């Protein structure tokens, strides 16, 4: 991380593709002392950075947003961006969406739809050949300066007047490898991908050659085609590796795209594919899986096996059953895989988790059953897992195969996969008492054990449940899907009535737009509303992104999403005034409708500007939960709005011996959080938001835990209120769990 200097964005610009960027840069900024450049090959992303002004206040975040026309070169590689334009079909022309809000940063014209998709040519620059000393002597070249001039590519004139060129005294340089990174979001981009000259000649600029404006070479367009006026020495093209990032509708093994990858394969190119139907949904971090396994054994009712599943379609089986292509040259792209480019191309795969990923045998069984299903429905010939269009015949000659969307819906694969050994179909439990789900329990930045802040509280409501989400750090939607699977995720989002953001630090809200967008998708067929309760300036951030997120924009326009300023619910006098109502544009009728059965009260937190503590009472059940957000111990909160809470969720960022650091950063220690609980007379307390310096089990020290209805939060913990007092009765077992996990991790590293 400390060495990372340049980030290249692929595909089109949307919240899905760049929503994690500010959190990544904030995390990365703490480790890297240099400047970080970020670039899209197709659009100017300055409006994206401008939208961060609502919550990033770090002057030290040094980010250079490079223009789409700029290219990159250093001593080793050259990177040229390629903006692939979509074909303007009737569908893409009409996708203008609803009326969009014009705002100061991101507007409906910032990223004109349809956008070009960013892809890249990564060229390893040729290294010089060996200098032939004997040959130089024969040609009369004296040692010293002329040797250096020749090795740097310049001709020299010897003392006897002879001109000697570099190629006369240098061995030929080896042809360097080229890597293509191709992002094809949908079928509209296929023509642009397959017709682009990926083997075009780029001309490198040597470090001693001046640019037109005499600026540093890394900040100007330093690569061009062979027809460019930029001088330099051309070199042979040898494409060795291609990464294909493909949208769901793109079928890489039919029609034009199949012809494209076939030509590459005939040139012995190693090709990686990332595709929703071919890429398995498995767990990357073995340490996380180990910890989950240990906690499930210790607390089976509080931790569930993490959701994972194999691919819907098997790459080798469905593609090569009637093909002349070599399956070894086609690989699924997996997290943490490494490809070595020099001295030879070598793929180093990171082994999948045996406990969570689908085995090869199981994957084969899935495809056999899928093909059997296709045959029984009259949709296949026993060799294909993708339905053919009527009258089409699949053959090795890709040019004769029509292009079509990838469609697996008729194969009935999903129910089969759910039963494959090694996969898990997690779900959301039915409850008969309030439940707390801690999805993110770390502070500041994600770690492999703790994601950033998010806690969900569910309460029974009639025959179902209703839920409120307290804070929503980056990756929250992914955590929900990993813990509950697709079925449980939809159930939880149908229960969600309130999304509460305590303050504007990025680790508490960067996951919110993804959750809201998914909430709108899941609840498309009903008339439910979601209350977004957050500090006032957050509304501007949401509104700006709504300009290019049609679903979110429609949710705001139709009042499916109701934004309410936290200050509206301030307890006491002197805070609420007409300015707040003008800022959030929510009428009392709007609030009464969306918060039916829910009473919210807030007070100022002792942390940063516009930070709040909150108490929520579900009036149908009289259950009261209080949430501190980030705050120093706040006795006003404890003795007023939070008094006699049934559940307190309180931050405990620092261990007790770091009290001075807690004061300086306006956080609480574990002991201070417990003191708030006692002052509040809370019936149960869960501590969360632990410092990432102790990502496993925080040290409780001399805190009196056995007499307190207290639990420590871990990611993925699902705990009924009645279960809270039981956890720390097994504190010694918890310590043993983490000791064993650490030992097993060391064995894995060995």
- Rounded-to-integer distance, Cα 259 and Cα 285, Å: 36
Q: Specify which residues 239 forms β-bridges with.
A: 178
Phi/psi region, residue 60 (left: phi>0; alpha: psi -120 to 50; beta: rest), is alpha
User: Is the predicted pLDDT of residue 693 greater than 80, yes or no?
Assistant: no
- Greater pLDDT, 678 or 29: 678
Helix axes 731-749, 286-298, angle to 10 degrees: 150
pLDDT-based confidence at residue 344 (cuts at 50, 70, 90): confident
DSSP state of 313: S
Cα(538)–Cα(56) distance, integer angstroms: 12
pLDDT value of position 580? 52
pLDDT digits (tens, 9 = 90+) for 227-246: 332 234 556 788 999 999 99
Rg (CA), the chain: 29
pLDDT over 80 (residue 506): yes
Beta bridge partners of 281: 309
Q: How many CA atoms lie within 13 A of 50 on its CB side?
A: 13
pLDDT of residue 364: 36
The pLDDT of residue 372 is 38
**Which region among 70-74, 132-136, 571-575, 662-666 has the lowest average model confidence (pLDDT)?**
571-575
Please give the mean pLDDT across all residues of the chain.
78
Tell me the DSSP string of 416-465: HHTTSTT-B---PPP-SS-EEEEEE-BSSS--SS--SSEEEEEEEETTEE
- pLDDT higher at 703 or 178: 178
Q: Span 322-342, mean pLDDT?
A: 78
Q: Which residue has the tokens 């994206």?
A: 48
Q: Is the peptide bond before 49 cis (omega within 30 degrees of 0)?
A: no
The pLDDT, as a whole number, for residue 292 is: 87
Q: Give CA–CA dist 111/346, Å, rounded.
A: 38
CA dihedral over 396, 402, 403, 404, signed as positive or negative: negative
Nearest residue to 452 (alpha-carbon basis) of 650, 210, 240, 695: 695
d(CA 276, CA 10): 16
| 669 contact partners, CB below 8 Å, separation of at least 6 | 652, 653, 654, 655, 656, 658, 659, 662
Residues 6 or more apart whose CB falls under 8 angstroms from that of 404 comprise: 251, 254, 255, 389
CB-count exposure of residue 113 (10 Å: 0-12, 13-18, 19+): middle
> What is the predicted pLDDT for the residue at 680?
95
Q: Which residue has the higher pLDDT, 749 or 166?
A: 166
566-599 confidence digits (pLDDT tens): 999 998 753 444 445 455 667 778 888 888 889 9
List the domains of the chain with CATH numbers: 6-127+174-237 (no CATH), 133-169 (no CATH), 286-417 (no CATH), 435-749 (3.60.15.10)
User: How do residues 300-312 score in pLDDT, each as one tens digit?
Assistant: 999 998 888 877 7
Average pLDDT, stretch 557-566? 93
Length of the chain in terms of residues written: 750
Query: Strand 561-565 vs strand 530-534: parallel, antiparallel, or unpaired?
Result: parallel
Q: Tens digit of pLDDT for each residue in 710-734? A: 999 999 999 999 999 888 888 888 8
Give the mean pLDDT of 147-151.
90
Strand partners, 242: 180, 271
- Give every CB contact of residue 281 below 8 A, 6+ residues apart in sequence: 307, 308, 309, 310
Angle at 467 between CA 461 and CA 471, to 5 degrees: 165
Contact assessment for residue 419 and residue 370, using Cβ atoms and an 8 Å cutoff: no
Residue 447 banded pLDDT, cuts 50, 70, 90 = confident
Q: In 197-285, which residue ranges form alpha helices assigned H by DSSP? A: 255-266
Query: Residue 677 and residue 650: Cα distance in Å, rounded?
Result: 8
The pLDDT of residue 163 is above 70: yes
């Amino acid at each position: 991380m400390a060495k990372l200097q340049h980030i290249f964005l692929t595909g089109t610009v949307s919240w899905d593709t760049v929503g994690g960027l500010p959190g990544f840069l904030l995390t990365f900024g703490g480790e890297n002392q240099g400047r970080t450049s970020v670039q899209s090959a197709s659009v100017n992303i300055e409006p994206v950075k401008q939208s961060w002004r609502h919550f990033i206040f770090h002057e030290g975040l040094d980010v250079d947003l490079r223009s789409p026309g700029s290219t990159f070169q250093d001593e080793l590689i050259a990177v040229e961006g390629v903006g692939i334009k979509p074909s303007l079909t009737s569908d893409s022309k009409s996708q203008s969406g609803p009326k969009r809000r014009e705002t100061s940063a991101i507007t409906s014209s910032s990223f004109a739809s349809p956008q070009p998709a960013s892809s890249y040519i990564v060229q390893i620059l040729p290294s010089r050949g060996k200098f032939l000393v004997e040959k130089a002597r024969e040609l009369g070249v004296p040692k010293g300066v002329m040797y250096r001039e020749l090795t740097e590519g310049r001709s020299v004139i010897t003392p006897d007047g002879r001109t000697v060129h570099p190629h006369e005294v240098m061995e030929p340089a080896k042809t360097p490898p080229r890597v293509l990174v191709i992002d094809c979001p949908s079928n509209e981009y296929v023509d642009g991908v397959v017709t682009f000259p990926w083997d075009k000649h780029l001309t490198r600029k040597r470090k001693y050659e001046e640019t037109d404006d005499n600026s540093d070479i890394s900040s100007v367009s330093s690569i061009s085609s062979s027809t460019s006026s930029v001088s330099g020495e051309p070199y042979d093209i040898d494409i060795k590796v291609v990464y294909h990032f493909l949208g769901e509708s793109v079928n890489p093994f039919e029609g034009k795209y199949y012809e494209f990858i076939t030509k590459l394969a005939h040139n012995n190119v190693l090709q990686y594919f990332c595709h929703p139907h071919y890429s398995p949904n498995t767990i990357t971090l073995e340490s996380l899986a180990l910890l989950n396994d240990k906690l499930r054994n210790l607390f089976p009712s509080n931790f569930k096996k993490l959701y994972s599943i194999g691919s819907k379609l098997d790459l080798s089986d469905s593609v090569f059953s009637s093909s002349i292509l070599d399956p070894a040259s086609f690989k699924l792209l997996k997290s943490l895989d490494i490809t070595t480019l020099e001295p030879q191309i070598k793929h180093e795969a990171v082994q999948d988790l045996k406990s969570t990923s689908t085995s090869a045998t199981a994957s084969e069984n899935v495809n056999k059953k899928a093909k059997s299903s296709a045959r029984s429905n009259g949709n296949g010939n026993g060799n294909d897992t993708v339905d053919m269009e009527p009258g089409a015949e699949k053959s090795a000659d890709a040019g004769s195969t029509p292009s079509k969307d990838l469609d697996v819906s008729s194969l009935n694969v999903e129910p089969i996969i759910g039963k494959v050994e090694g996969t898990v179909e997690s779900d959301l439990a039915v409850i008969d008492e309030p439940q707390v789900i801690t999805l993110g329990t770390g502070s500041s930045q994600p770690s492999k054990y703790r994601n950033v802040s998010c806690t969900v509280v569910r309460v029974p409501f009639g025959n179902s449940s209703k839920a409120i989400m307290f804070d929503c750090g980056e990756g929250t939607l992914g955590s929900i899907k990993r813990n509950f699977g697709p079925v449980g995720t939809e159930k939880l989002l149908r229960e969600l009535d309130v999304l509460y953001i305590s303050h504007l630090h990025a680790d508490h809200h960067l996951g919110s737009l993804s959750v809201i967008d998914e909430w709108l998708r899941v609840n498309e067929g009903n008339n439910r509303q979601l209350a977004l309760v957050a500090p006032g300036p957050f509304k501007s951030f949401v509104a700006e992104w709504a300009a290019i997120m049609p679903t979110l924009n429609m949710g705001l326009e139709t009042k499916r999403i109701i934004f309410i300023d936290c200050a509206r619910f301030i307890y006491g006098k002197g805070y609420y005034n007409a300015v707040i109502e003008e800022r959030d544009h929510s009428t009392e009728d709007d609030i009464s409708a969306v918060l039916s059965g829910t009473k919210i009260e807030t007070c100022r937190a002792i942390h940063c500007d516009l930070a709040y503590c909150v108490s929520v009472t579900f009036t149908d059940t009289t259950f009261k939960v209080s949430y501190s957000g980030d705050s120093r111990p706040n006795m006003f909160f404890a003795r007023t709005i939070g008094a006699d809470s049934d559940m307190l969720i309180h931050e405990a960022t620092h261990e007790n011996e770091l009290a001075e650091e807690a004061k300086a950063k306006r956080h609480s220690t574990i002991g201070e959080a417990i003191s708030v609980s006692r002052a509040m007379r809370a019936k149960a307390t869960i501590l969360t938001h632990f410092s990432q310096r102790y990502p496993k089990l925080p040290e409780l020290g001399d805190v009196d835990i056995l007499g307190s209805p207290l639990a420590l939060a871990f990611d993925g913990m699902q705990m009924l209120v009645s279960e809270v007092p039981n956890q720390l009765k097994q504190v010694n077992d918890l310590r043993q769990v983490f000791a064993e996990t650490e030992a097993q991790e060391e064995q894995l590293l060995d």
